[in-house]
A and B are shown apart, each in its own frame.
Chain A
């Protein structure tokens, strides 16, 4: 065609289209992320930043003052995640399975109502439940009394052995809407012919759910698991609102987010330490990365996907 050699022109419009997003994203997200990882390698001596290699991590994992808190918050965070996986996701899947029945009336109404807690802020959720569970107001003990179970009542948020599980369940209450919606969408996308073919073979009702639908929605369950994981290991707001930065009683509800906040900003007599805060952030980054890798390489590649 013509045979004229042209120098490749710089396509300015591509650069103009990409530049704002790439600049903001790089400057405010990627650069600080790596800078935080770098800051974890420094300590502060006489108000000067001094390179210290892995010293912060040695203290974080080895020095009892730090290590006890770190392992405590990591353990709590794991339990927080386990409660979500065992309660939130099964309830979400069950509700989605019920909602996806064909010709169920009021489905849209139920769906919108059950999703309401998910749109509320942690501040509202945290304080609302704190008031409801409070022994001063007495709604929770009165309601248990009405069904003759008053002996079961305890000030759950104030007891070391119950507080973390209670908060995890409050968080479950708030976020059930997410797995509900994702699984609901997955269930609706299963073609009717497959279910009818199952019915011809006598597979109906709950066995249709276990034998046909569940295997088909496994990829969605994988996605809600990794979303739950990242969300939980990044959580902070609910614990901070309900229990404060000290994650009481006696640090029993401390998770990585609150631990990092306390270390970074300081509390009471302890001064804030941005470098140790960065070290904790780096540890969180590592944990989230491990979770994502397990999901991407261990789970996602093994799930069989069906195309209809």
Chain B
């Protein structure tokens, strides 16, 4: 059996195709990274060569660190992402627990209402969101971004988490009730620790779009003090178009944190997207 699927020629061909596509996927990132460590002359003379003793230079990074406030931008992105994840997970898990655990009037309806936002992009409401943030004085605060991303992340979080909450054993919860635990204690002490893997999946899912978003930082929080890393690099690069060293270094610095996050969480992320089919 399985002759066709074991044919060595086919296997070799599969590797050729996959290696080719991997090169296509990684080439631009690779070119940006190696050139960010080179002198301006070397960038143009031999763009595909690795930096060597002659062409090595950190001038681009020096410009970036002197001109742009990248640490502040990084800090802003960090605050927004971490705070959003906290609220999405806490509020999402609470709502998911209510929907999965209790039978009450309007349960299904509430589930559908919260699921609306899975397909409809929150960007459609931007005009009114800006209105709202202006009238509540939240424009140019990180809070505005945290609120918007929390609202954006909740629908999918509730949907995924309530699937998992349904799998938590009823016996365990009822044993807790007999022991006189309150519903809150049952949720925080018994159920939440059991669904930790699915919380991680939801977190990883939400992290990348929030970190990378340009639209809402541009509209709700474009002030210097609240720029996120994505918006900050966009503006910085726009101003330094002709300074190739600085642009390449800024790009590399923007790539770095995402790559680190990806290396830590890629397994979780891929497992989340493929809903567990891939181990």
Contact = CB atoms under 8 A, between A and B. Distances in A.
B266 A112 contact: yes
A218 interface: no
B214 A33 contact: no
Given A14-B104, A173-B25, A21 B92 contact: yes
B144 to A, nearest CB: 9
A110 to B, nearest CB: 5
Contact of B94 (A21, A124, A236): A21
B183 A13 contact: yes
Given A21-B95, A127-B247, A188-B277, A120 B187 contact: no
Contacts of A226: 119
B239 to A, nearest CB: 13
A83 interface: no
Interface stretch (B60-68, B109-117, B168-176, B193-201): B109-117
Contact of B274 (A30, A103, A182): A182
A230 B237 CA distance: 29
B162 to A, nearest CB: 11
Contacts of B233: 123-124
A185 B104 CA distance: 36
A245 B10 CA distance: 47
Interface in A71-116: 91, 94-95, 98-99, 101-104, 106, 110-116
A301 to B, nearest CB: 16
Nearest to B233: A123
Contacts of A122: 212, 214
Given A24-B87, A29-B152, A188-B277, A123 B147 contact: no
Interface string A180-193: 01101110110000
B29 A102 contact: no
Given A18-B98, A123-B237, A236-B123, A185 B251 contact: no
Interface string B69-110: 000000000000000000100111011011100101000001
Interface residues of B, number: 96
B1 A132 contact: no
Contacts of A127: 237, 247, 251
Contact of A18 (B2, B28, B110, B237): B110
B137 interface: no
B132 A32 contact: yes
Contacts of A124: 32, 233, 251, 254-255
Given A25-B117, A121-B258, A185-B278, A102 B132 contact: no
Nearest to A102: B5
B228 to A, nearest CB: 10
A277 B125 CA distance: 10
B278 A95 contact: no
Interface in A253-290: 257, 260, 264-265, 274, 277-278, 281, 284-285, 288-289
B4 A205 contact: yes
Given A32-B132, A205-B4, A189 B28 contact: no
A110 B214 contact: no
Point out which of A11, A33, A184 has the most chain B C-beta atoms below 10 A from its C-beta: A33
A199 B120 CA distance: 43
Interface in A1-57: 11, 13-14, 16-18, 20-22, 24-25, 27-33, 35-36, 39
B211 A121 contact: yes
Contacts of A112: 266, 270
A294 interface: no
Contacts of A129: 28
A105 B255 CA distance: 28
Contact of A204 (B5, B213, B244): B5
Nearest to B263: A112
Nearest to A29: B151
B151 A24 contact: yes
B3 interface: yes
A95 B255 contact: no
Point out which of A102, A117, A119, A176 has the most chain B C-beta atoms below 10 A from its C-beta: A119
B246 to A, nearest CB: 12
Contacts of B255: 120, 124
A45 B48 CA distance: 58
Contacts of A121: 211-212, 214, 230, 254, 258
**In the complex, the 8 A-B pairs of residues with the closest C-beta atoms, listed nearest first:** A185-B274, A32-B125, A121-B212, A28-B151, A35-B128, A32-B128, A204-B4, A21-B95
Interface of A: 11, 13-14, 16-18, 20-22, 24-25, 27-33, 35-36, 39, 91, 94-95, 98-99, 101-104, 106, 110-117, 119-125, 127-129, 131-132, 137-139, 142, 173, 176, 178, 181-182, 184-186, 188-189, 196, 199, 204-205, 208, 226, 230, 234, 236-237, 240-241, 257, 260, 264-265, 274, 277-278, 281, 284-285, 288-289, 292
Given A124-B254, A285-B120, 6 more contacts: A14-B102, A17-B187, A29-B151, A35-B132, A101-B14, A288-B119
22 contacts: A11-B102, A16-B94, A21-B91, A21-B154, A24-B147, A28-B122, A36-B127, A98-B17, A104-B14, A110-B22, A111-B270, A115-B269, A120-B258, A122-B214, A125-B28, A178-B273, A184-B274, A236-B215, A237-B213, A281-B127, A284-B124, A288-B120
